[in-house]
Structure 1
Amino acid sequence: MKIPNLIIYTGPGKGKTTAALGLALKYAVRGKKVKIIQYLKGSTYSGELYSSRLYYPHLEIYQFGYGCPWSSMIKSGFLKCRSCGECFRRNRDPKEGYAQTAWTFTKEIITNSHTQLLVLDEFNHAVRYGFIPQEEIRETFTHIPSPLTVICTGRNAPRDLVDLAGKVMVFEAVKHPYQAGISSRRGIEY
């Protein structure tokens, strides 16, 4: 069964979240209600988090995850990410419960909200790690109300999720500065 208002952005390349944000901005500038739930991310230094609060009153971003303790210093440009991995380890620990809390919030938005676009950023990772039961996903997504479009981002989207979606986009890097050893650039990658 294909769900036409379910979109998957997946693949090994960069740009999945950026593409979803681009669509979110198109919705928001037209006065449509947009919510972005960032799975396994918390208090990061990403530009979208700060610009949405300033410029887009119809766009709300919620983060569910352990945040980098250095995020304010990185955001200010004083430090660069040290790639310590602490935020990744904590977010992938099922005992923390971040993904489960985000999923509960997601279900609430899908069933009881007037939201027109819901972006589930890094949702595919939460599913792949087994934090969210496949049957619950199928049950919830088959009841997405028609004015709502849901976009799920993240590498390695599970086959069951891909099969459900009405649209699937696979991102692949042909060439990227990371491959040349250039680290993330403020204002471009974050």
Structure 2
Amino acid sequence: MAQAKGKVDCQTYTEIDTCSPGWVFDAAVTVAPSDDERLAHGGCRAVVDEEQDTKVKISEALEAAARAVGDDPVERSDAAAIRAAEVRAVGTGVDIPAGIAAQAQAAADANATAAHAEDKITIGDVLKWNATAKLPSGKAVTGEDAAAAVEAEAADAPGKATKPYGVGAALTEAARRNQEGTCRK
């Protein structure tokens, strides 16, 4: 039985010449400025601030905290720091119903009444792989963001002390790296 040969139809795509913005290789037609900007950012209409994009984001710092202290149960101080970070990421007055702050608070409340240590919800359960997906903002961590998280964590912590590798510490380290410009070069 003879098989019919399939026809493969290839299309040629033009590339953007980054040395000559506004021109497409092998074309004598200028690209419209709005299209030029969109094409320069991978086809996305949103403009990406390249310098800001190389910095550690709030969500990434929260996930770093999850890797550092992920097996620790969520306490009220952790929930407060996570809430402060979420507010700094999305803005004051914006509430994300099922966001990471709400999950952290629910976990802290559940952990307060948990009978056994193995029944407690951990920081990793709330933040690992979740923070980047649930925080809609790609805001880079600043010193003010870190200070707000540390202050919130200390206010709800027993003895008013923050965890050495907790949420506040992760945001503080991220802010330091962002200020020094030592990330993702």
Question: Which structure shows the bigger proportion of residues in strand conformation?
Answer: 1
Larger RCO, structures 1/2 (Cα 8 Å, 6+ apart): 1
TM-score normalised by length of structure 2: 0.29
Question: Which structure shows the bigger proportion of residues in helix conformation?
Answer: 2
Larger radius of gyration: 2
TM-score normalised by length of structure 1: 0.28
